[in-house]
Structure 1
Amino acid sequence: MIYESGLSTNGNNWKLLADGDRKELNKDYSVGLYMRLSKDDGESSESSSITNQRKLLLSYAKNHGLSVFDEYVDDGFSGTNFNRPAFRRMLKDIEARQINMILVKDLSRLGRDYIMTGQYTEVYFPSRRVRFIAVNDNFDSDSPDSDIAPFKNVVNEMYARDTSRKIRSAFLVRMQEGSYVGSLAPYGYRKDPEDKHRLLPDDQASGVVKDIFAMAAGGMHPASIAADLNRRGILSPKAYRGSENINPKKASAGSPPVSSWSARTITKLLRNPVYLGHMAQGRSRKVSFKSQLTVKNPPEAWILVENTHQALVSSDIFLQAGAFLDSRRSTAATRQDGGPFLCK
């Protein structure tokens, strides 16, 4: 004999059921299976894989006679961020009354921000008459014994906070060693196939970088440089990253560019010491491990390691280009841009 909740939407209709009554009880539920895995917060173990989550949830649904409406999978998304595509799609199906039960492996799959996770489990789901079950945590929103959930949500956030701290510490060590930690190589470079933390010149885009510095050192304004590149159909850094094996000097004829060069893009490029062969990282930071918002660090807080890779321009050309920029900008504007980088 087991205790199980009835189909009453208020969640208070409890009765004693025989094991054989379980399937009959749950026949009116339309279930969404939610799965999440984050590769950057330490959750890469086999037991937490999407495949194993799916097996667990499908088995649970089958054993309890539940009808699965759809699966929602966010693979590679942090639990501290609720702006996930599959999660948002699941919410739309809830609003459309397509599902009235959600199954997850455990509470941490739903999220690792205890405030937002609690908002969904304690407020949003009940207000939409959605039953929420975390299988491995033995959590059922229809159960009168679900008071442990807020404490588990706090523990899940503490795990995310500790993991974030360890990742930041590992990144700091790599930056201090001069290893590149960015997800995308700076324009003009590519990552070494044998060592993703090392930069190599990009055979195509590096020539464009050299042209830009030469034009700037010759007294050409960033806006004029951008206009010249756009006129010649040279792909901007954003457009070039989105293309594969495309010569940046030969954009598709007759097709509008994905993005255009701008004076701001040129200025940022001319200020970047990476083109001197130096690694300057830690130029921005997140305001919180739970937020995607970043703020700029002052130049004196950057982590600078010199001579880490092949330079694309000489110190003389770099300083000439920077001196011309300084002559065209006010002191206040220069401070806002981060100031010129001075070679030692």
Structure 2
Amino acid sequence: MIEDIEAGKINCVVTKDLSRLGRNYILTGQYTELYFPSRNVRYIAINDGVDSAKGESEIAPFKNIINEWVARDTSRKVKSAMKVKFADGAHYAAYAPLGYRKHPGIKGKLLIDEDTRWIIEKIFDLAYHGMGAAKITKTLIEEQVPTPAWLNFQRYGTFAHIFEGQPESKRYFGTIAQVKKLLKDEVYIGNSLHNKQSTVSFKSKKKVRKPKANGIV
């Protein structure tokens, strides 16, 4: 949208209310009070009765502050609820780890996946008998053992973009890093690890790694 405004393609921005434009009151204010006027862009927030063509809204800055407070409070409550679930060992992710599947009726609960458990058992068996990650990877490649991404694509149709136009070898384990990651994953000794990373704040989606001491096991 900003690119189109700079190109002169947009002269009016309409949102349902001010919170749809943004919940960071500083940035939202910069757009409504500085950026849009400097580009001759009319701004309308329907439910809040804001229309820059009718002059500045004295209540808008206060509504922006309230919108940010609501976002901050919601973020705090969500994090608190998730910590309780993590403490109970619940697993929340887009996909279950390789060798597991999500319980169809209980959120956060994992079950052993009888269709893929053999892959995990094979990797750990090879390691137990003295193979390093490099040799294990070579064995998996030779035996064309499928990767988690390929299995998910086969089951759910996801990750199609990863395999489009790629050679068949893309479907199988091909890196030492993949094997090392599985061998180090505590989920395979029954542990559920959480709080390994978080966002900088509710205002930023940037991920940051957290000290292991702050994790929940």
TM-score by length of 2: 0.83
Structure-2 change in CA distance of 1:204 and 1:124 (3 Å):
farther
Q: Is the 8 A contact 1:238 1:259 kept in 2?
A: no
Query: Which residue pairs with 2:136 in the alignment?
Result: 225
Query: What SS does the aligned partner of 1:220 have?
Result: coil
Query: Which residue pairs with 1:144 in the alignment?
Result: 55
Structure-2 change in CA distance of 1:132 and 1:183 (3 Å):
same
Instruction: Kindly state the Cα deviation for residue 245 of structure 1 after the two structures are TM-superposed.
Output: 6.4
Query: What SS does the aligned partner of 1:132 have?
Result: strand
Instruction: Output the aligned Cα RMSD.
Output: 2.7
Which has the higher mean CA deviation after the structures are superposed, 119-128 or 151-160?
119-128
Is 1:271 the counterpart of 2:184? The answer is yes
Instruction: Kindly state the Cα deviation for residue 109 of structure 1 after the two structures are TM-superposed.
Output: 0.9
- Unpaired runs of at least 5, structure 2: 158-162
- Unpaired runs of at least 5, structure 1: 1-89, 305-344
Q: Given the alignment, which residue of 55, 58, 64 partners 1:153?
A: 64
Q: Deviations over 1:71-116 (max 9, x none)?
A: xxxxxxxxxxxxxxxxxxx334334433311111101011212233
Q: Is the 8 A contact 2:145 2:172 kept in 1?
A: no
Q: Given the alignment, which residue of 214, 234, 237 partners 2:148?
A: 237
Distance 2:99 2:178 in 1: 13
Query: What SS does the aligned partner of 2:107 have?
Result: strand
> What pairs up with 1:1-344 in 2 under 5 angstroms?
90-244=1-155, 255-257=168-170, 261-304=174-217
Q: Is the 8 A contact 1:171 1:181 kept in 2?
A: no
Structure-2 change in CA distance of 1:113 and 1:225 (3 Å):
farther
Q: Is the 8 A contact 2:140 2:172 kept in 1?
A: no
Structure-2 change in CA distance of 1:118 and 1:221 (3 Å):
farther
Instruction: Kindly state the Cα deviation for residue 235 of structure 1 after the two structures are TM-superposed.
Output: 2.9
How many pairs does the alignment contain?
A: 211
Query: Structure 2 counterpart of 1:271, which letter?
Result: K
| Greater share of residues in strand | 1
TM-score by length of 1: 0.55
Query: Structure 2 counterpart of 1:229, which letter?
Result: L
Q: Is the 8 A contact 1:125 1:131 kept in 2?
A: yes
Distance 1:254 1:146 in 2: 59
Q: Is the 8 A contact 2:144 2:173 kept in 1?
A: no
Query: What SS does the aligned partner of 2:8 have?
Result: coil
Runs of 4+ in 1 over 6 A off after TM superposition: none
Instruction: Kindly state the Cα deviation for residue 130 of structure 1 after the two structures are TM-superposed.
Output: 1.5
Query: Structure 1 counterpart of 2:17, which letter?
Result: D
